Amino acid sequence: MDANALILLGTLATSLVSAGVIFLLAESRHTVRSIFNLAAALLKVILVGWMIWGVYNALEYEVRFTIIEGVDFILRADALGMMFVGLSSVLWLFTTVYAIGYLEGAPNRSRFFGFFSLCVASTVGIALAGNLFTFLLFYELLTLSTYPLVVHRGTRESLRAGRIYLFYTLGGGALLLLGVVALHVLVGDTEFRPGGVLDHLDPTLYPLLVGIFAIMIIGLGVKAALVPLHVWLPLAMVAPAPVSALLHAVAVVKAGAFGIARVVYDVYGIEFTFSLGLLTPLAIAASITILYASLRALMQADLKKRLAFSTVSQVSYIILGISLFGPVGTLGGLVHLLHQGLMKITLFFCAGNYAETLGIHKIHELDGAGWRMPATSVAFTLGAFGMIGVPPMAGFISKWYLGIGALEAGMNWVLAVLIISSLLNAAYFLPILYRLWFGTRERPWCEERARGRYETSMWLLLPTLATAAFALSAGLLAGMPFSPLYWAELIVTREYL
């Protein structure tokens, strides 16, 4: 096994080994657990950075071995996978720092951080999977490793949310398994290849391929929270804030959207998918989700639930870009995979800060909180402006390319979807910002800063400011080398043109 293969395995092993060690640590070993968590997260970032540089320079990273005859376990680093694993590794580091501060003094921290590491390992495995079998393996592991995080608090509400989460995600996984098996019968072990692997099949099989595509998209659409498969996501907001950040920005919903990208680009191929007439229905499903979830977000009085419905809407921008037949639309969808993650994790960090520091959970309780917690509130403002699509934030870059891509694909109606959704984004985010900065300040905590109290714990504040800075920089520095937009352009030019 060569050095590149060892680096690839090491990237996956950092979080797997971390999970194993943390499970074995006594609950009282808080300092050791924190040091080990942070060391593993830092090592993963270093290994991922190494591989990103290697993939940029066309080096090959692959590990392959046979499970049974005709079925291989394949890990491979390509430009699309490195986009997802790069996001996961960087945000895992920030979320680990945040979770250490958030869960200080809480029970069952070893269990939490053990499954937390398994969740990240599953996400990395999904990103690095080289075929459908390996993807499915880690996709199901992600379901099993996130369930304990959703029910971590052990309340009746969280247990109910966990049951619904399992019902939806295991059902989606079963449909995905059915699609994987069907494709295996037709073509054998289905490896991911730019341009797809199915266009050589007999045209008499095309109706069957359409059905398999629909089954797989529904299965993946559960985690991607496509309407009406999204019900589990707002309910999962009973989980601790670090889990919410992980679900919405890094792991579960991104795994679904990433899986749809793999199926469209690397299994069916974008041109073959277009020839089967499958892109327009996918675009319609994404558009319905974008608009419906935005309307539902308007109706939410709870801050985390409003952010949850915002996630349902925003993730479908990725799927909308995938469904636009052309490089510019693809670029807009892929770059939003990173942009949405940076903006959304910032917003959930902020929501956690308000809850932990001031006991705020409802939007009407935010009146004047911007002056009590100015740094957190500036970060929230940047994240919200990004979601709306205000220049020069990262969200504006995504929507700009999606709009141009819609015109390029001849799907002009998508422009109306983008405009209406942006107006709805403004309608449910701007009232929050108004309350933060201009709401009445007649609350007991408004004068705490005058008495010398810090805004919040530095464990909570520093990751929030870091991700907000990344979200701002992704828009301001979009034209720079190795920006999210630059990497998305590399994917499009190298693999999909």
Is residue 446 in some structural domain? yes
Span 60-72, average pLDDT: 89
Mean pLDDT of the chain: 90
List, for residues 363-382, the tens digit of each pLDDT value.
999 998 898 899 999 999 99
User: How far is the C-alpha of 87 from the C-alpha of 345, rounded, in Å?
Assistant: 11
Is residue 312 in some structural domain? no
**Structural domain boundaries, residue 423:** 321-497
User: How far is the C-alpha of 83 from the C-alpha of 488, rounded, in Å?
Assistant: 8
Is residue 481 in some structural domain? yes
Phi and psi (nearest 5°) for 118?
-65, -35
Domain tally, the chain:
1
Is residue 28 in some structural domain? no
The answer to whether 467 touches 342, Cβ cutoff 8 Å, is: yes
Most confident of the ranges 186-190, 237-241, 350-354: 350-354
List, for residues 112-150, the tens digit of each pLDDT value.
888 989 999 999 999 999 999 999 999 999 999 999 999
List, for residues 201-223, the tens digit of each pLDDT value.
888 899 999 999 999 999 999 99
List, for residues 393-414, the tens digit of each pLDDT value.
999 999 999 999 999 989 999 9
Band (244; pLDDT cuts 50, 70, 90): confident
Is residue 472 in some structural domain? yes
**Residue 483 reports pLDDT greater than 50:** yes
Is residue 469 in some structural domain? yes
Higher pLDDT, residue 450 or 188: 188
Band (82; pLDDT cuts 50, 70, 90): very high
Is residue 422 in some structural domain? yes
The answer to whether 354 touches 369, Cβ cutoff 8 Å, is: yes
- DSSP per-residue letters across 171-238: HHHHHHHHHHHHHHHHHSS-B--TT-S-TTS-GGGHHHHHHHHHHHHHHHHHHTT-TTTTTHHHHGGG
Is residue 496 in some structural domain? yes
Q: What is the largest CA-CA distance in the chain?
A: 76
**Residue 447 reports pLDDT greater than 70:** no
pTM for the whole structure: 0.94
Alpha helices (runs of H) in 249-302, residue ranges in sequence order: 252-261, 270-275, 279-298
Band (452; pLDDT cuts 50, 70, 90): very low
Span 489-497, average pLDDT: 81
71: Cβ contacts below 8 Å, ≥ 6 apart: 133, 184, 189
**Residue 276 reports pLDDT greater than 50:** yes
